[in-house]
Structure 1
Amino acid sequence: MEKKPIVELKNLSKTIGKKKIIDNLNLSLYPGQITGFLGPNGAGKTTTIRMMVGLMEPTSGDVIIEGISLAEDFEGGLSKVGVIVENPEMYKFISGYKNLLHFARMHEGVTKERIDEVINQVGMQNRIHEKVSTYSLGMRQRLGLAQALLHRPKFLILDEPTNGLDPAGIREFRMHLRDIAEKEGVSVFVSSHMLSEIELMCDRIAVIQNGKLIDIREMSEIQQSHYYIEALPLDAAESLLKEQGFAVESHKDGFIINAEKEQIPAIINLFSAKEQQLFAIQPYRKTLEDEFLEMTGGGQIAEAHTK
């Protein structure tokens, strides 16, 4: 049975003045899945997120969260959402626990037992009663994640969540997110310019450019088997591979093809039978950066940061 989406963006558009910032965006987000949201500078990522959390009203279209339209029931829809934007702001001169008590009062039904549960979930048991001013950035990120999870949201939005974290902190945060998505069936939506981190964190990516959704791709598809082949003469080698049904992509002094390991001996035998000079055939792993640049035509990766 196909999973029902937790979130649906339906024909979402935003026009400011005469400029169309977001153009008819349609996207479904599913439980237990982490989706990366990527795009060049000015592509419309921040505007999309603002509309998803009610900070900006769409010109047309709607955001549906667990069957609730934000246009029709704003508070009901947002009650299903948790948000972390870059470095979460906390009250620094009280403890992490008192911060969580304060945020818990903003939601109905958040018990002290639930607060203890999220503290354990993000691994803060030993430091939760210390002042936030003593926390590292990684600890503040964990506290922000605990705060976002207090009311058991089914949809978690993260905008540059690992910004400023060291490698150990990034890995730890990634593991917490994976655990939350898989064990609680939360749909996680991550916007980031750190492509290497998105590659490790996400199940799929959605790419936006000039306000339009240009691609949705499973990470398993990106990480599929590729091989680099170097052979001469180049034209003859390319023709030979294409005759066998391979999509051939030029790379350095040879080609990249999508092939399974079991096909490699037959390719070697084919080159030998045709008396082609085969110098190298080796696994080649495309990165998310490679794919992103292909999809966007080499658009800039890093998002501009403004305060």
Structure 2
Amino acid sequence: MKPVVELKNLSKTIGKKKIIDNLNLALYPGQITGFLGPNGAGKTTTIRMMVGLMKPSGGDVVIDGVSLADDFEGGLSKVGVIVENPEMYKFMSGYKNLVHFARMHEGVTKDRIDEVVNQVGMQKRIHEKVSTYSLGMRQRLGLAQALLHRPKFLILDEPTNGLDPAGIREFRTYLRSIAEKEGVSVFVSSHMLSEIELMCDRIAVIQNGKLIDMREMSEAQASFYYVEASPMDAAKRLLSAEGFTVEAYKDGWIINAEKAQIPVLVGQMAEQKLQLFAIQPYRKTLEDQFLEMTGGGQIAEAHAK
């Protein structure tokens, strides 16, 4: 599948400090990619270069086959952006706001405005003033505005900031529908790792301006088991001898294993007369994995410098 967006050896140096160091990344249609990193990793700098708010020191951003270095306006015409809470004209209705934004793009018809209103479920409230909208309604209107010109690439920076759980779930549902039905590539930067875990198909992790991990969420949700047995030393020797990766956890260990391996393991423990107290599925959260990938430290924040 041909990528919608490619970051090619993207670099940014400010003064003597290299903020982004030869970043390479490909984003595909119909996929939602989470963008994670510790504080100061360079997430916001990367996004600024992707939308033309900051000029790279080296490398290139290619959107739908168009290099921003060669054709800035042509490349950005394929991009929609939502940064935190979208700013709208509150004294105007939601519909008039969309009409205003539609004038900034060629070929956005009344039918297209009605289409995006339906896509984000705003039909009943679209003619009311934005000042009467809840934060969730304004987020939906911001999503409608970002989709007006049929972008191939949608960038979201902290899109669920301030939303309640129901609003977050609703926004996630709309985003998934847009990615799947319209083939839009969605790029989400957020510090809400539990939400990224539910929303995304893939995650990209940067640290110190470098891409340190890129994985499918199906891979991130690999099969783990918690094992507690005694004597502990003998049980650990058995687990290691069988080729399991053993990680201490509470009174036992976390091992990476397939379901079919568990009955065999139980039989081996019985043969060695080990006391088995617990063996149960264990799911590593994205937060656990993120801290492992980055060596601990603070969870990603909205505005990495």
TM-score by length of 1: 0.97
CA distance, structure 2, for counterparts of residue 209 and residue 290 of structure 1 = 16
Alignment-derived partner of residue 157 in structure 2: 159
String of CA shifts for 1:181-228, please: whole Å, max 9, x gaps: 011110000000000100000011000111111101111111121100
SS in structure 1 of the partner of residue 260 of structure 2: helix
- Compute the displacement of 1:22 (Å): 0.3
**Residues 117 and 123 of structure 2 are in contact (CA less than 8 Å); yes or no, is this contact kept in structure 1?**
yes
Choose from 166, 177, 187 the match for 1:189: 187
**Residues 29 and 152 of structure 2 are in contact (CA less than 8 Å); yes or no, is this contact kept in structure 1?**
yes
Alignment-derived partner of residue 199 in structure 2: 201
The number of residue pairs the alignment matches comes to 304
Counterpart amino acid of residue 47 in structure 2: I
CA distance, structure 1, for counterparts of residue 262 and residue 213 of structure 2 = 30
Choose from 76, 81, 84 the match for 1:78: 76
**Residues 9 and 59 of structure 2 are in contact (CA less than 8 Å); yes or no, is this contact kept in structure 1?**
yes
CA distance, structure 2, for counterparts of residue 295 and residue 161 of structure 1 = 24
Alignment-derived partner of residue 180 in structure 1: 178
String of CA shifts for 1:40-82, please: whole Å, max 9, x gaps: 1111000000000000000000000011000000000000000
- Compute the displacement of 1:87 (Å): 0.2
Alignment-derived partner of residue 25 in structure 1: 23
Please show how residues 80-159 of structure 1 align to structure 2 within 5 Å.
Answer: 80-159=78-157
Alignment-derived partner of residue 4 in structure 1: 2
Identity %: 84
CA distance, structure 2, for counterparts of residue 57 and residue 239 of structure 1 = 55
Q: Does 1:226 align with 2:224?
A: yes
Counterpart amino acid of residue 269 in structure 2: F
CA distance, structure 2, for counterparts of residue 205 and residue 94 of structure 1 = 38
CA distance, structure 1, for counterparts of residue 232 and residue 13 of structure 2 = 49
Choose from 214, 217, 233 the match for 2:215: 217
Alignment-derived partner of residue 269 in structure 1: 267
Structure 1 unaligned runs (5+)? none
Alignment-derived partner of residue 58 in structure 1: 56
CA distance, structure 2, for counterparts of residue 302 and residue 245 of structure 1 = 33
**Residues 189 and 302 of structure 2 are in contact (CA less than 8 Å); yes or no, is this contact kept in structure 1?**
no
CA distance, structure 2, for counterparts of residue 136 and residue 75 of structure 1 = 33
Choose from 40, 43, 52 the match for 1:42: 40
Counterpart amino acid of residue 274 in structure 1: Q
CA distance, structure 1, for counterparts of residue 206 and residue 86 of structure 2 = 25
SS in structure 2 of the partner of residue 188 of structure 1: strand
Alignment-derived partner of residue 298 in structure 1: 296
- Compute the displacement of 1:174 (Å): 0.1
User: What is the Cα-based RMSD across aligned positions, in Å?
Assistant: 1.0
- Compute the displacement of 1:277 (Å): 1.8
String of CA shifts for 1:16-59, please: whole Å, max 9, x gaps: 00000000000000011000000111110000000000000000
CA distance, structure 2, for counterparts of residue 233 and residue 213 of structure 1 = 42
SS in structure 2 of the partner of residue 261 of structure 1: coil
- Compute the displacement of 1:120 (Å): 0.1
Counterpart amino acid of residue 45 in structure 1: K
Of residues 296-305 and 9-18 in structure 1, the stretch that sits farther from structure 2 once superposed is: 296-305
Counterpart amino acid of residue 181 in structure 1: A
- Compute the displacement of 1:304 (Å): 5.6
**Residues 190 and 302 of structure 2 are in contact (CA less than 8 Å); yes or no, is this contact kept in structure 1?**
no
Counterpart amino acid of residue 99 in structure 1: N
Alignment-derived partner of residue 241 in structure 2: 243
TM-score by length of 2: 0.98
